[in-house]
Amino acid sequence: MSVKHAVLGLVIERPGYGYELIQRLEQRIEGWRPSETAVYPALRSLRAEGMIRAREATADGGVVSAHRGVVWYDATDIGREEFRAWVRAPTDLAPQRDPFWLKVAFASPEDLPWLVELTRELEAACLERMAELGEQGGGVEDLRREEVEWQEIGQAWLRRTEAAQLAVRIEAVQQIRAAMKRAIQRHERRRGPALAPPAAPDPR
Amino acid sequence: MTLLALERVSKSHWRGRHEIVVLDDVSLEVEPGELVAIFGQRAAGKSTLLRISAGIEQPDSGCVRFEGTELGAARFRRLTGIHARIGWVGRQAPFASGMRMLDHVALPLLRSVAADEAERGATRALKRVGVGDLANARWHELSDAERTLVTIAHAIVRDPKLLLADDPTSGLGIEERETVLGLLRSIAEERGMAVLATVPEIPDALHSHRVMSLSDGELIQATRRAAGEVIAFPQRRDGRA
């Protein structure tokens, strides 16, 4: 994901400082689990490229005096232009980066009982995330109200797409678990019940 | 108190000498006032899970408790009236095809109250689900969404403690799905009714208080933890993996 553009987008919405931006970022694109440590390098590089500018907070600088000494960032015109260009530019198809599927592809039959257990954990985690998304609302009818701002709609769609992706993952994980259970049975028939289920959690 | 509890329920069907495991060691609890959604694809065991929860079908092993009473034992004691406290939302057409929807919805009440009172109850139930105008309509005149809503009215007319809904969103469009699930959720909240609904698509589950999924007879629940809760060491399942 492009943390840099996300941070730039936040600064364009309204000026902010490092810690505050991290919090806003988490709120806005929670499902992407942005890394906190990525925000400061992003700010540095945006600043170096002239897309944002820093100002020291002063009591008379029009910023909250409680945050004296904190570096606030404002978007520059270059930054606004770059962001607009980025929004409008075509997007590549994101690659599949979930390590679980790599494990599935490279596992040997002896690993399967562990992977079956992993599918259960993965599915439970997906369901938990699903429940979190559900609590944030944003039904189709709410979004059709005349007075809803685009940003709210866009935000809701970010959640809906995440939900759709979770749904696909849950179904895929269920199917792969069924396939692995069958493979374990086949393996046991051939070699005898050598594949005892794991006795202890996987030492990752 | 937990309203509905399934404890280690297993169920198999037999096709000749082939055992088909429909439910594999399933445990779950449903509390009053919550909508619990169970996602599962076709043949995942959803309907069996609901039928066992209703006491219509008996598990091979494990037990089902409704308000602390074991359902298997209560099954033959009609006087306990347990089934008036469980509502069922399925896809059944009315008892008689030419019936007005008002009569269809009033029917479950007629066992216990007079006709005019049953009619008033049915009118309230139809209004509650937003189809008060369908009182005089016939089943064949209704759209799929309207049928679902009328079926919900039919199921809540006796004000049950537990509502079991078998895929109430299947065959509906995206907005109708939201209407139906939003309705189930608000009914659960306002009446303190527990609602256990199966859904054929996961995004439907977004409207529920809790989400579970069922596949291959196995029930998976969200790893939800209350703050400060002591987490039990995870237990491995038995060798059937």
Which pLDDT score, from 0 to 100, does residue A193 have? Answer: 61
Cβ-Cβ contacts under 8 Å between A and B: the total is: 89
A116 contact residues in B (CB cutoff 8 A):
241
Question: By the CB < 8 Å criterion, does A162 face chain B?
Answer: no
Q: Can you tell me the distance from the alpha carbon of B220 to that of B237, in angstroms, rounded to the nearest whole number?
A: 12
| C-alpha radius of gyration, chain A, whole number | 23
- A170 vs B213: CB contact, 8 Å cut-off? yes
- A134 vs B178: CB contact, 8 Å cut-off? no
Which pLDDT score, from 0 to 100, does residue A200 have? Answer: 54
Which pLDDT score, from 0 to 100, does residue A65 have? Answer: 47
What ipTM was reported for this prediction?
A: 0.74
Which residues does chain A have with pLDDT short of 70? 1, 31-34, 56-68, 137-143, 192-204
Exposure string for B78-115, b = 16+ CB within 10 A, e = fewer: eeeebbebbbbbeeeebeeeebbbbbbbbbbbeeeeee
Between A140, A196, A201, which is nearest B174 by CB? A140
Q: Give A118-169 as a DSSP string.
A: HHHHHHHHHHHHHHHHHHT---HHHHTSTT--HHHHHHHHHHHHHHHHHHHH
A183 contact residues in B (CB cutoff 8 A):
none
Question: By the CB < 8 Å criterion, does A179 face chain B?
Answer: no
Which residues does chain B have with pLDDT short of 50? 79, 225-228, 231, 233-241
Which pLDDT score, from 0 to 100, does residue B57 have? Answer: 87
Question: By the CB < 8 Å criterion, does A164 face chain B?
Answer: yes
A121 to chain B: closest CA residue: B223
- B203 vs A167: CB contact, 8 Å cut-off? yes
